[in-house]
Amino acid sequence: MIFENVFNKVYDREVLAKVKFLSTVSLFKGISKKDLLYLLENIYENKYRKGDIVFEEGEVGRALFIVYSGTIGLYKKNDKNNIIYKVKPGEFVGEMAIFEEMPRTLSAVAIEDTSVFMFYKTDLESIITSKPKIAAYLNYNLAKILSQRLRGYIKGEKEIVE
């Protein structure tokens, strides 16, 4: 009983929830809990209020955004009212920025109060040298995700906007 009380005082249960959340993200599939903790050390957390612009089309992307809570809406520049896709908790946006810092292809807005994890290309680069095992999983998962998207593109499942 005393031990449980002390444990509850010292231990931050929110961290456990974050690690559990990260383990459900497809990008981190297969990564052990210990390595997820290392990742948690190396990613940035940020909160956006409803209506905040997360990034704009044409800006050079540097980070991948994983939605922890809330929703991010994607839209074409100057057409904020026409949301093309809603990024829900557990989903992520901007994975191409992890490989190459190229201009964003869409703009993003926080549809409600949203909490995100930001994972930068520079962090992936340092993980490649310091923790190759995590990097191998990340790159494998990213390759799978990009492959799925390419398949979708070829099949014409998704709309292509020139």
Partner 1 sequence: MAIFLSAAFSYILSPIVKFFEVRGIKRSYTVVIMYLAGSIFFIFFVFFIIKIASFDIESFINNWPSYYSNFEEIIKSFISKIEKVFPIISQFNIADKILSFLIELPIYLINYIPYGIFIFIIPFISFFMLMSGAKMFDNVITKVNPRYIEIIFYMVSRIDKTLGRYLRAILSEATVIFIIAFFGLLIMNIKYFSILAFLAGISPIVPYLGAIVAGLVSAIFAYVQYGDIYVVLKVVVFFIAIRFFDDWFLQPYIMKKNVDMNPALVVLALMAGGEIAGFWGVIFAVPVLCIIREIVFILIELQTENFFDKSYKVYVPYT
Q: Which residues bind partner 1 (CB under 8 A)?
A: 9-13, 15-16, 37, 40-41, 44, 46, 48-49, 52-58, 60-63, 74, 76, 84-85, 87, 91-93, 102-103, 105-106, 110, 118, 120, 122-123, 126, 148-149, 152-153, 157-162
Q: Which is nearer to partner 1, 66 or 137 (CB)?
A: 66
Separation between Cα atoms, residue 66 and residue 68, nearest integer Å? 6
Query: Which residues are paired to 127 by β-bridges?
Result: none
The gap from C-alpha 1 to its chain's centroid, in whole angstroms, comes to: 39
User: To the nearest whole angstrom, how small is the minimum distance from the Cβ of residue 101 to partner 1?
Assistant: 8
Separation between Cα atoms, residue 28 and residue 37, nearest integer Å? 12
User: To the nearest whole angstrom, how small is the minimum distance from the Cβ of residue 21 to partner 1?
Assistant: 13
User: To the nearest whole angstrom, how small is the minimum distance from the Cβ of residue 46 to partner 1?
Assistant: 6
Q: In 10 A of CB 39, how many CB atoms? A: 20
Q: Which residue has the tokens 């992890």?
A: 98
Radius of gyration of the chain (CA): 17
User: To the nearest whole angstrom, how small is the minimum distance from the Cβ of residue 129 to partner 1?
Assistant: 9
Bridging pattern class, strands 114-120 and 63-69: antiparallel
Q: Which is nearer to partner 1, 2 or 9 (CB)?
A: 9
User: To the nearest whole angstrom, how small is the minimum distance from the Cβ of residue 122 to partner 1?
Assistant: 6
Smallest CA-to-CA distance from 107 within 153, 148, 44, 65 is with 65
Q: Work out the angle at residue 140's Cα, subtended by the Cα atoms of residues 139 and 144, and round it to the nearest 5 degrees.
A: 115
